[in-house]
Amino acid sequence: MVSIKDVARVAGVSDKTVSRVVNGEPNVTADTIEKVKLAIADLGYIPNLAARSIRSNRSYTIGIVTDFISTTPYSGDIVRGVQDWASANGRTVLLANTDGDPVREANVWRTFKAHRLDGVLHVAMYHRTVAPAAGEVSIPTVLVNSHAEDGYDYPSIEPDDFGGSYALTEHLIALGHRRIGYIRLNPLLLGANQRLDAFLAATRAAGIPEADLVIRLGMEGPIGREANYVYQQALEILAVPDRPTALVCGNDEMALQAYLAALSLGLRVPDNLTIVGFDDFRTVSLGLKPELTTAALPYYELGRQGADMLDQLIQGKGSKQERRVLACPVVVRGSSAAIR
């Protein structure tokens, strides 16, 4: 590999001068810069970041730890957000996955320290509280899609499930719906409860009696291996004479099953039934016909802004108490319509 010394020799200057040019330091003649740049181009010199890292104690690399990458289909969006930030700010991204296994998680932190990473984004693939391996973490860390359990002190960034669900429910109410069905996500998910709470709060605020609501559990059991009752529940909710005119699903994947159930009962969306989801998971929300009204999880922004928060933290500017919450805007598409 060509090193700074090779460049120095070819350019006829000292290695320190090359270093100056490479790092854009002042006090070098335009002439010298020219010579050096020529030599660099000639030799195809690329600075060795490892060497730089030893001296400066900074790696210009940040890590992403995920628990269940790819199990959640949108996970990629968070990662992409981080990458776009990194690529725009001259950082590199190291990726590690724990599969939710504490042993692997410990190893990941070891590796990250061995690489002397500047900071770490701890990304939860479903919205929840976390307690990163206590003593382990001596690297600046930001929690993404989660917030710290009580007693832990990490800045975090997460989606506003409550706000999104509230707005979505208001949308339905504005369309005239009062008899509304609701299929819940796995209660183990933080978002599941926030979404249901918001739904209840919004209907209550609109004066809709609880008796007009049909609330069912769509899935339960350990995350990733849960039992799924959504299709059956949707059939049951819809197969009665005074069925709801709108059906709210815990997320878009549930909405898919609701569509199938509704169609198989001969119902048309949105003419006979309004269906809404949550997440704006494109494969589903745009794949369904009519396309799905839903609240959009800001995954990309979670990643991008999370990286930015981390950078602040690394520079000693950020606050460990910051808890940023991003809106989940309602995206109105064809699956919701005014009641007849």
Partner DNA sequence: TTGTAGGCGTTATCAG
Partner DNA sequence: CTGATAACGCCTACAA
Per CB under 8 A, residues contacting its own copies are 1, 46-51, 53-54, 57, 59, 61, 64, 69-71, 73-77, 79-80, 83-84, 87, 92-97, 104, 107, 110-111, 113-116, 231, 253, 256-257, 259-261, 263-264, 266, 268, 281, 283-284, 287-289
76 binds, among its own copies, DNA, none (CB under 5 to 8 A by kind): its own copies
Cβ 54 to its own copies shortest distance, Å: 5
15: Cβ–Cβ under 8 A, 6 or more apart, which residues?
A: 4, 5, 7, 8
152 in Cβ contact with 132 (< 8 Å): yes
Give the residue with the Cβ less far from DNA, 45 or 300. Answer: 45
Closest of 122, 4, 120 to residue 52, by C-alpha: 4
Closest of 267, 283, 301, 286 to residue 334, by C-alpha: 286
Cβ 310 to its own copies shortest distance, Å: 16
79 binds, among DNA, its own copies, none (CB under 5 to 8 A by kind): its own copies
Give the residue with the Cβ less far from DNA, 5 or 289. Answer: 5
328 in Cβ contact with 164 (< 8 Å): yes
Instruction: Give the span between the Cα atoms of 174 and 172, in whole angstroms.
Output: 5
Lookup: tokens for 63: 């890590």
User: Is 27 a binder of DNA (CB under 7 A)?
Assistant: yes
User: Is 1 a binder of DNA (CB under 7 A)?
Assistant: yes
Give the residue with the Cβ less far from DNA, 21 or 254. Answer: 21
Cβ 4 to its own copies shortest distance, Å: 12
Site residues (CB under 7 A) for DNA, limited to 133-162: none
User: Is 29 a binder of DNA (CB under 7 A)?
Assistant: yes
Inter-CA distances, 5 with 17, 47, 54, 291, Å: 10, 11, 18, 61
Give the residue with the Cβ less far from DNA, 74 or 112. Answer: 112
Backbone angles phi, psi at 43, to 5 degrees: -85, -15
Q: What is the DSSP secondary structure assignment for residue 291, as one 8-state letter?
A: P
| Binding region for DNA (CB under 7 A) out of 22-30, 157-165, 200-208, 241-249 | 22-30
Give the residue with the Cβ less far from DNA, 44 or 209. Answer: 44
Cβ 64 to DNA shortest distance, Å: 24
In the chain, what's the furthest Cα-to-Cα distance? 90
User: Is 5 a binder of DNA (CB under 7 A)?
Assistant: yes
Pairing between β-strand 219-220 and β-strand 227-228 as defined by DSSP bridges: antiparallel
Lookup: tokens for 28: 């070098």
User: Residue 217 carries which side chain, given as an amino acid letter?
Assistant: L
| Binding region for DNA (CB under 7 A) out of 11-19, 127-135, 253-261, 310-318 | 11-19
Give the residue with the Cβ less far from DNA, 31 or 242. Answer: 31
Instruction: Give the span between the Cα atoms of 209 and 214, in whole angstroms.
Output: 11
Which residue is it, tokens 């719906």?
A: 177
User: Is 47 a binder of DNA (CB under 7 A)?
Assistant: yes
User: Residue 291 carries which side chain, given as an amino acid letter?
Assistant: E
Q: Which residues bind DNA (CB under 7 A)?
A: 1, 3-5, 12-17, 19-20, 22-23, 26-29, 31-32, 47-48, 51-52, 54-56
